[in-house]
Structure 1
Amino acid sequence: QEVAAFRQINHITSLEMDVNVSFFDFIGGVQLLQGQETRTAIPVIIIGICVSGAVGNLLALLIFFRDFRNGRGSEAKALLASVASTDLLILLLCAPVRAVTFYKRTWTLGSFVCSTADWFQHCCVVAKTLMLALTTRAKHTVTTGDATTEHLCGASWIHGALVCIWIVAMMFPIPQMLFASLLPYGSDTICVSEVPGCASDFMSLFYKIYPTVTFVVPVISTVAYYTKTLHDEVNNVPNPQHQSKVTLVLLCLSGTLGLMLLPEWGTFTWIRLGYNKPPAGLLIFAQLLLYACSALSPVILMTMYDDVRQGLFNIWFMATCRGSKNTPGTNTCPKTEENATEAHGATNAVVANAVSVETDKENEDKEKTFPDLEHFWTGRRNTQVEQEQDPVPWEKEEKML
């Protein structure tokens, strides 16, 4: 059994494709695959990536939401929350289309999804790349207390920047939507991209500029910036622990994005510049890496970013406390559930209160006397000796003798 997708492409181009078409490629996933293994294994892998990645990104968004609600937000956290939202869109809306395509081997989702599948996926990928590049201009300091409102008002530039990023991300992949069409193949249909010959020169130039502007330049500049910043912080800053950790997290995110999206962008440019068709296995591997990148980003945040890891512990702490409260015979958890340090402080307070109570009891015991002795000493204290009365009359009796 072999994967013969591009043999089928050559067959289609020789029989049914117009001679004026200068470019031909599948959209929405590789179709016309042969072999039962590819029909079952690839959709299962995609679904597994989608489920795990969606859970991770939802947890990351919940943690960032709690931080902003508790007044511990920052510009970098706002952009990372936007990145997590974009990853969630990729995993929930783009990846399932590929899973259905690999399972059906032909296109069954209609003309609208055919026209917008690759366009929307490229929008999300480009937006994610530009958002990570924008984090180089964001502040990493956390604002607390009354400064949060002023900080959010001063960081309104982030909203404008995100709007501009999404506009650019939606405009660049427009050719992916314009040249998409359904092509009959026997009793079935396939979703393909056909570039007419009159637009071949312009599209050839466009497909050289598009990956460079939206992938190569942002990734290289972001990785170079964070590498230099990390080096300066480690060598020049007096206390670089916290700041260098945040920079290291952003460097890992940018480097992971560049490495895992390189096969996707490489095959995309390779096909559209008119070179020989790459193997179908390479195309499938590139698409799987794209979705795995969206699933790996929250893992990096939760393992390397101290604030996100602490927020994950807090959520787990709250969930376990609520479960223990519903179970009879278990100890109740402290009411302060903001973070682990507050819970630890509550435990110390309980211990301190117990120690103080024991100390008070000991002091009361020391001051308290037994009832009989108290009566005896009270009687002795109230006894008064009259002046005329001799307290020791037996001494006078001895003298008289």
Structure 2
Amino acid sequence: MDLDQSKNETFVDFVGGVQLLQGDGTRTAVPVLLIGLCVSGAAGNLLVMLTFYRDFRHARGSEVKALLAAVAAADLAILLLCAPVRVVTYYRRSWTLGGFACSTADWFQHACVVAKTLTLATTSRAQHHAAAAAPGGGGPTWIHGALAFIWGVSATLPIPQFLFASLRPLGADTFVCVSETPVCAAEAMGLFYKVYPALTFALPAAFTLAYHVKALHAAVNRGGPARAGTRRQSKVTLVLLCVSGANALLLLPEWSAFTWTRLGHSKPPAGLAVFAQVLVYAGSCAPPAILMTMYDDVRRGVAALWFAATCRGAGRAAVRGCPKSGENGAEAGAHVGAAAAGEASSQGEPQDKTFPDVEHFWTGRRNTHVEDDQDPVPWEREEKML
């Protein structure tokens, strides 16, 4: 997987996934693993976003939920837009996606990863106001401004990943996508690659973990009986600590390989680089799994979405079972009663609920027999006689 450096460049690294790998195992195992992570992670993040959207529609939203929804959106972009590029790269072992994808592949993934880390750090501020119940703790305007600033910074800092990415031909129809640092920019980029990982990963992750640990320590050591609201905020803080810790742990190999490659005298092994890239996408699958197992609001929201989907299907089946023209009144009454009972059960009411008036009406008129010489509607004949 090594490439020779030219006289006008000081660094060569692959962009969009490790290329020129040998062996059939990496060509099949890595793409299959990435596809599995994409499918499962995308489904989990979509469920989390739908749950938070449902909470906001029912006036149960909060700043923490809005920021966690932004984290889920960043993870969804990583899984749906960045991971497929790596799947194609590992399968083809060369670059076949064109020059524009080569220039933007690493830049866009870095922007999403940095935005996710900074958004998780911002949740500490939102959780502080939620736990302290401070008035004027912020609203939609604050959230929108914070997210706009985060994404602006996240898209600006990885610009060198966009500027120095280019295609290099290896044969008549074979290309590789590499990142090349010119000699004139070697010193500036050396300083940049020392500051960039610290600003975008190390400091935000350390701040987030330290804040949540401190908040949990203060909640545990607080004297007196804890109120229900305090216990709930402590649980939310624990969930945020787990999400932030999983994100930092799973991104650590990728940032370590990134720094090692750009500042070290040798490159990391190809196996370590591939393993670090796979963990990036595993890190996008971890937050929805943690939220759906530990966060009570998300767990109840997912259950409500599931019941709503299943009950809606049951409701369509009940509508398809309605009486057609030609059925007698007793059968129609039975269908009406069954449909009403099904609707009551879908809303959480007992299924044995009856309607006395309707039941009495149809019971008194069921299986009535009319004599041949008896007029079933005598009032119509009286009106004609008058």
Q: TM-score range by the shorter chain?
A: 0.7 to 0.9
Residue in structure 1 matching 2:171, options 186, 206, 228: 186
Alpha-carbon distance between aligned partners in 2 of 1:124 and 1:154, rounded to the nearest angstrom: 24
Q: Which has the larger radius of gyration?
A: 1
Specify the code of the residue in structure 1 equivalent to 2:265.
Y
- Corresponding residue SS for 2:221: helix
Q: Hey, what does 1:131 align to over in structure 2?
A: 119
Shift of 1:140: 7.6
- Corresponding residue SS for 1:24: strand
Q: Hey, what does 1:291 align to over in structure 2?
A: 281
Q: Hey, what does 2:52 align to over in structure 1?
A: 64
Alpha-carbon distance between aligned partners in 1 of 2:62 and 2:170, rounded to the nearest angstrom: 53
Does structure 2 conserve the Cα–Cα contact (< 8 Å) formed by 1:230 and 1:247? yes
Q: Hey, what does 1:202 align to over in structure 2?
A: 188
Shift of 1:234: 2.5
Residue in structure 2 matching 1:87, options 47, 71, 75: 75
Residue in structure 2 matching 1:99, options 87, 100, 113: 87
The alignment of Structure 1 onto Structure 2 pairs a total of residues equal to 329
Shift of 1:154: 3.4
Does structure 2 conserve the Cα–Cα contact (< 8 Å) formed by 1:74 and 1:140? no
Shift of 1:152: 11
Q: Residues 95-148 of structure 1, C-alpha deviation per residue, up to 9 Å, x if partnerless?
A: 000000000000000000000000000000000000000001114888xxxxxx
Shift of 1:20: 2.3
Q: Say if 2:213 is the partner of 1:227.
A: yes
Shift of 1:89: 0.3
Shift of 1:197: 1.2
Q: Hey, what does 1:163 align to over in structure 2?
A: 148
Shift of 1:155: 3.7
Alpha-carbon distance between aligned partners in 1 of 2:44 and 2:205, rounded to the nearest angstrom: 23
Does structure 2 conserve the Cα–Cα contact (< 8 Å) formed by 1:38 and 1:102? yes
Q: Say if 2:297 is the partner of 1:311.
A: no
Q: Which runs of 5+ in 1 are unaligned?
A: 143-149, 338-342, 358-401
Alpha-carbon distance between aligned partners in 2 of 1:232 and 1:265, rounded to the nearest angstrom: 32
Residue in structure 2 matching 1:213, options 199, 203, 224: 199
Alpha-carbon distance between aligned partners in 1 of 2:345 and 2:254, rounded to the nearest angstrom: 47
Does structure 2 conserve the Cα–Cα contact (< 8 Å) formed by 1:106 and 1:190? yes
Equivalences for 1:2-401 in 2 at 5 Å?
Answer: 5=1, 9=2, 12-13=3-4, 17-139=5-127, 154-187=139-172, 188-236=174-222, 238-239=226-227, 240-327=230-317, 333-334=342-343, 343-344=347-348, 346-347=349-350
Alpha-carbon distance between aligned partners in 2 of 1:152 and 1:323, rounded to the nearest angstrom: 42
Q: Hey, what does 1:366 align to over in structure 2?
A: none
Alpha-carbon distance between aligned partners in 2 of 1:72 and 1:335, rounded to the nearest angstrom: 25
- Corresponding residue SS for 1:193: strand
Alpha-carbon distance between aligned partners in 1 of 2:300 and 2:253, rounded to the nearest angstrom: 34
Shift of 1:316: 1.1
Q: Give the % identical residues.
A: 58
CA gap of 1:140–1:51, structure 2 versus 1, over 3 A, is farther
Specify the code of the residue in structure 1 equivalent to 2:116.
K
Q: Residues 65-97 of structure 1, C-alpha deviation per residue, up to 9 Å, x if partnerless?
A: 000000000000000000000000000000000
Specify the code of the residue in structure 1 equivalent to 2:208.
T
Does structure 2 conserve the Cα–Cα contact (< 8 Å) formed by 1:76 and 1:140? no
Does structure 2 conserve the Cα–Cα contact (< 8 Å) formed by 1:129 and 1:219? yes
Shift of 1:295: 1.1
Shift of 1:37: 1.2
Shift of 1:151: 8.5
CA gap of 1:286–1:153, structure 2 versus 1, over 3 A, is closer
Does structure 1 conserve the Cα–Cα contact (< 8 Å) formed by 2:315 and 2:343? no
- Corresponding residue SS for 2:280: helix
In angstroms, what is the RMSD of aligned CA positions?
Answer: 2.4
Q: Residues 311-360 of structure 1, C-alpha deviation per residue, up to 9 Å, x if partnerless?
A: 011011112212323346887555697xxxxx55x34xx77x77x98xxx
Q: Hey, what does 1:385 align to over in structure 2?
A: none
Specify the code of the residue in structure 2 equivalent to 1:169.
S
CA gap of 1:267–1:112, structure 2 versus 1, over 3 A, is same
Q: Residues 22-45 of structure 1, C-alpha deviation per residue, up to 9 Å, x if partnerless?
A: 111000000001111111111111
Alpha-carbon distance between aligned partners in 2 of 1:133 and 1:220, rounded to the nearest angstrom: 9
Q: Hey, what does 1:364 align to over in structure 2?
A: none
Does structure 2 conserve the Cα–Cα contact (< 8 Å) formed by 1:140 and 1:246? no
Alpha-carbon distance between aligned partners in 2 of 1:158 and 1:334, rounded to the nearest angstrom: 39
TM-score normalised by the chain length of structure 1? 0.77
Q: Residues 265-284 of structure 1, C-alpha deviation per residue, up to 9 Å, x if partnerless?
A: 00000000033111111111
Does structure 1 conserve the Cα–Cα contact (< 8 Å) formed by 2:114 and 2:201? yes
Does structure 2 conserve the Cα–Cα contact (< 8 Å) formed by 1:233 and 1:243? no
Does structure 1 conserve the Cα–Cα contact (< 8 Å) formed by 2:127 and 2:237? no
Does structure 2 conserve the Cα–Cα contact (< 8 Å) formed by 1:74 and 1:141? no
Alpha-carbon distance between aligned partners in 2 of 1:308 and 1:119, rounded to the nearest angstrom: 32
Alpha-carbon distance between aligned partners in 2 of 1:46 and 1:40, rounded to the nearest angstrom: 10
